[in-house]
A and B are shown apart, each in its own frame.
Chain A
Amino acid sequence: MASVFMEGNEAVARGAMAAGCNFFAGYPITPATTIFNNMLKMLPPRDGVCIQGEDEIASMGYCIGASMAGKKVLTATSGPGISLYSEHISFAIGSEIPLVIANVQRLGPSTGSATRGADSDIQFMRWGSTSGAPVIVLAPKDAKDCLELTVHAFNFAEEFRCPVFIASNKEIGMTKESFDMDDLNLPPLVERTPYTGSGPYVPFAADPDKSPPFLPIGGTTLVRQTSSTHGPDGYITIDPQVIAAMQQRLHTKLTAAMDRITLYEETMVPDTDTLVISYGITSRAVTDAATALAAKGRPVSTLSLKTLWPVPEALLVEKAARFKKIVVIEMNLGQYVTEIKRILCGKPVEFYGQMNGTMIPPAKIMETIENE
């Protein structure tokens, strides 16, 4: 056995490098700063660019410019920074600009607690932009996941041309742990599809369920990019049909590929009537609780979601079907549980959430399951 020893934030940086990331811009914020520190060590020797923006808004602006020039970009922040990222998240969604955002979540609201963890921003990442068009959010549970999911995040950003979040947490980002590099399961790299057609390049012309082929600003073919409502040609449009088609495509390009976007882990135990659903750091305590419950003769099955948004609706329906009871545990006072209740309507859903700056311990999860 040969292990590496690193915190989740370093693992995100190493995942980004493995994915071919060549541009980072960010602004220091606890508990995400060490992603920036690591990128500043790793990018220059590989001819990448790593800079500190004058604020979070600028950092995202630098990333948007670099991505439109064809770079694979990463930025990292925490809740207060996501607030400032908002206008540029909207820009990247609507104008189909690939970028990866690592959100090392801390306890909110507002400045909250810089050094206390929580899954504070689970709904905010999904809805903290104008128009309601979707993003992809991936939730790691440990350092190894941080590395693997960051590679997936770049792949998704490139293919679907949208912002992809890594929903980390102070408890993952700043906790160092060992893992075996041989256990890493990295997907093959995906690059954005270049335009290779013979006619003139129409920057937002795409199949109704795909993102448009890409050409960089600075290449020999002229490219138009705009944050305003645009038609396929990249010019402002007020044609309702054109607008409707563009709006719909922003949704469909993701929903049509949910099979591939849906990442999860499960432990399905025969003859159990309870399914415990969780994600992120909390899913590790759920695993401990399930082990302890099995030893007590009260086994449960578990489902740990790695793709939170778009909600893997088909997966949830399929996995929950045979269970009498669903238990949802998350490190906030109830954010993702509303999605699960919406999708599994009619099934009894028990919930335990905690928002006090500490991780949910296995004993609390056992209590919730045993008391139902």
Chain B
Amino acid sequence: MNSFLNTSRPPVFCPGCTHERITKSLDAALIKMGIPDHKTVIVTDIGCSGLFDTFFNVHALHGVHGRALTYAAGLKLADPSLNVIVTMGDGGMGIGGAHVLSACRKNMDLTLIILNNFNFGMTGGQYSATTPSDAVVGSEFLNQAEIPMDICGVVESAGASYVSRISGMDDGLSDELVRAMEHEGFSVVETLGLCTGRYTKRNQLTPKVIDQMIEQRPSPGGVIEKNQRPEYGNRYRQLAKEKGKFSDPFVVKKLFDMPDDRRHEVVILGSAGMRIVTAGDMVCFAGISGGLNVSIKNDYNITVLRGQSVSEILLSPEKIGYTGIESPTVVLALSDEGVARRQKIFATLSPDTYVLKEASVAIPDTPAQVEEIDFKAMKIKKTDWALASLAVLAKHEIVLNKDMLVFALKSRFNEKVFNLSMETVNKIL
């Protein structure tokens, strides 16, 4: 290919703008790469650097300010065979800083060209994240109160595996871009350039000054040895391949007849760490095996192993509508924290409601029938109280029976855990 430039869309930059030189160098680099046009995509965002995609006859995606790297990452993960080039100004680099850092950490095979011209050209020369504090820009004095960031320093410390800084007018730019594209990993090339429309009108910035800047802060030189590691996509695909196989949802058939055919509302009041949610699931598995419709809502703190853990379970021969608890038929009071969370329900319980209360737990006055059981005296550990209380229900044939409980335990646990849980169950039954 002689050129990838789009002859129907010639560059439209201000006279003397370095972006035009960079456009030509990028074209020269693409020619040297020798890959077909449809294997390259140029991804851009907003600002003068955001015009780049229109100048080339390759795939193009132009998006929102600062987010170009995110589209590029999606494209590269979806199609690893693509040569993905991102152009971004110092503006896009500033607003999309989180994406730049993330791309450095990931080390995806993308080539980011940051066209640093020290200000926001398109909106009137306001200061950017790279504007020197002593520059005269369109933001009055604001840049004087900040310092510019060192792009190469930041991306190198964030983990970019290829980092270089070069004048946008450097004759070696196309070769530098080729090296960056050929590098398998995240490459960042910072080009320094002149914004003739805005910046150089009020600041003494010339090609020579840019060369001096690079002499003072030399390029990290490309490949960053300490940051070399597998490319993200390759690593991702390797790790993903080791993942287990797709698991279909667990199907439970009706196997048993329920002890009674009525609707039940079961509330388990416990604390985090007491396996309340697991016990709730057991009740549900048992209910489904009895041919019922079930639902369960759990209420626990976002911190782990602290605070209440409450499960609210509905079992019904009818389709379940409202999933809230309205009139509980069973309440398992297993910890003071859990009881405190649903204190108000006790006074409203019906005389038919069965309340199981562990001996150490205090409950408010209630018209319901209360059975007190001292699990501690039975040498059952607190973490097994919820399971033990299900065994009590099975013994009384409330909500479930022994066969249903055993079925539920078998469905949920592996053999070892099943056997351990049966030891607890057998202490009751």
Interface residues of A in 153-192 (CB under 8 A from B): 171, 174-179, 181
Give CA–CA (A57, B95) in the complex, Å: 12
A64 near B99: Cβ-Cβ < 8 Å: no
- Tell me if B427 counts as interface (CB < 8 A to partner A): no
Stretch at the interface among A218-226, A265-273, A339-347: A218-226
A61 touches B73 (CB 8 A): yes
**Least distance between A40 CB and chain B CB atoms (Å):** 9
A228 and chain B: residue at smallest CB distance: B62
Number of chain A residues whose Cβ lies closer than 8 Å to a Cβ of chain B: 75
A54 touches B64 (CB 8 A): no
Please measure, in the bound complex, the distance between the C-alpha atom of A174 and the C-alpha atom of B392, giving whole angstroms.
Answer: 28
| Contact among B37, B54, B70, B81 for A53, CB-based, below 8 A | B70
A68 to B67, CA, bound (A): 15
Q: Say which one of B137-145, B203-211, B249-257 lies at the interface with A.
A: B249-257
Does B212 reach chain A (CB closer than 8 Å)?
no
Q: For the complex, give the distance between the alpha carbons of A226 and B60 in Å.
A: 8
| Contacts of A194-226 to chain B: CB distance below 8 A | 216-226
Inter-chain contacts of A87 with B (CB < 8 A): 64, 67
How would you classify the secondary structure of chain A's contact residues: helix, strand, loop or mixed? mixed
Option from B38, B102, B244 in Cβ contact (under 8 Å) with A45: B244
Residues of A within 8 A of B (CB): 1-6, 10, 14, 17, 23, 25, 30, 41-42, 44-46, 49, 51, 53-55, 57-58, 60-71, 87-88, 91, 114-115, 171, 174-179, 181, 216-228, 234-236, 281, 284-285, 287-288, 291, 358-359, 361-362
Look across to chain B and name the residue whose beta carbon is closest to the beta carbon of A70. Answer: B78
| Contact of B250 (CB < 8 Å), options: A5, A44, A61, A225 | A5
**Is B58 among interface residues, defined by CB-CB distance under 8 A?**
yes
| Choice from A44, A69, A181 contacting B74 with Cβ under 8 Å | A69
Query: Which residues of A lie under 8 Å from residue B353 when comparing CB positions?
Result: none
Which residue of B is nearest A95, CB measured? B63
Q: Is the CB of A1 within 8 A of B254?
A: yes
Q: Which range holds the interface residue count of chain B?
A: 35 or more
Contact A217/B41 with A5-B285, A5-B288 known, Cβ cut-off 8 Å: yes
Flag if A222 contacts B58 (CB, 8 Å): yes
Q: How many A-B residue pairs have CB under 8 A?
A: 214
Residues of A within 8 A of B41 (CB): 217-218
Tell me if B421 counts as interface (CB < 8 A to partner A). no
Q: Mask for B286-301, Cβ within 8 A of A = 1, else 0?
A: 0110011111111100
Q: B70 to A61, Cβ gap below 8 A?
A: yes
Q: Which of B265-273, B319-327, B360-368 touches A? A: B319-327
Q: How many Å lie between the Cα of A224 and that of B8 in the bound state?
A: 14
Q: Is the interface of B mostly helix, strand, loop or mixed?
A: mixed
Q: Given known contacts A61-B74, A235-B9, is B62 in contact with A222 (CB within 8 Å)? A: no
- Tell whether B429 is near chain A: CB-to-CB under 8 Å: no
Residues of B within 8 A of A218 (CB): 38-39, 41, 59, 75, 78-79, 81-82
- Interchain CB contact (< 8 A) of A63 among B74, B102, B247: B74
Known: A58-B102, A65-B75, A235-B9. A51 touches B236 (CB 8 A): yes
Cross-chain contact of A62 among B74, B241, B321 (Cβ < 8 A):
B74
Q: Provide the residues of chain B in CB contact with A216, threshold 8 Å.
A: 79
Q: Is the CB of A45 within 8 A of B243?
A: yes
Known contacts A54-B98, A65-B72: A45-B322 contact under CB 8 Å: no
Contacts of B63 in A (CB 8 A): 61, 64, 91, 226-227
Known: A4-B249, A176-B284. A64 touches B74 (CB 8 A): yes
Is B250 touching A222 in the complex (CB atoms < 8 A)?
no
Can you show 6 pairs from A to B with CB atoms below 8 A apart? A49-B240, A65-B73, A171-B297, A171-B323, A177-B296, A217-B82
